[in-house]
Amino acid sequence: MAAKWIEALTGSLEQKKQYRQSMRRIDALPEPYRSVAQGYHRYFMYYGGFLDGETLVTLIGDFVDLWERAAVDGSTVHDIVGDDPVAFGEEFANAYAGRHWIDKERTRLIEAVEKAQREAGS
C-alpha cells in the first residue's frame, strides 16, 4: 500500500532501481569508456528531456551495454562515436521515442496561437 502511494509521488521504484544499477555499471567501466559514458549520461539528461522514466531507463541500459561491449572488444572511443561526438549522442537519444519535456510546451504554444487567431477572428 505504502509503495503505491510513494510511487504515485516519485515514480516507479523499479525504474529507479534499474537506473541506479545502470549508473553502477557505468562507474564500473574501465577508462576511457567510463569518463566518456559519464559525459554522455550528463548530456542525455540535458538534451533528452525525457518525461517517461521507462524511456530513460531503457536508453541508459542500452547505452551501458554498448560501452561494456566496446570495452570487451577493445573498440576505441572513436570507433563508437565517430568524428562528431555530439551528433552521435543526439542520434542515440533520438532513437528512443518517448515524451519529452518540450512536448508539453509545444502543445501550449500551438494552443496559444490558435486561441489568439480565434479571438482575432471574432
Which tens digits make up the pLDDT trace of 75-100?
999 999 999 999 999 999 988 876 66
Instruction: Look at domain 2-121 and name its CATH class.
Output: mainly alpha
Distances (CA, A) of 39 to 33, 42, 43: 10, 5, 6
Q: Give the predicted TM-score (pTM) of the model.
A: 0.73
Quick one: cell of 59?
536508453
Comparison of pLDDT for 100 and 12, the residue scoring more: 12
Q: Is the pLDDT of residue 20 over 80?
A: yes
Q: Is the pLDDT of residue 9 over 60?
A: no
Element (H, E) at 96: none
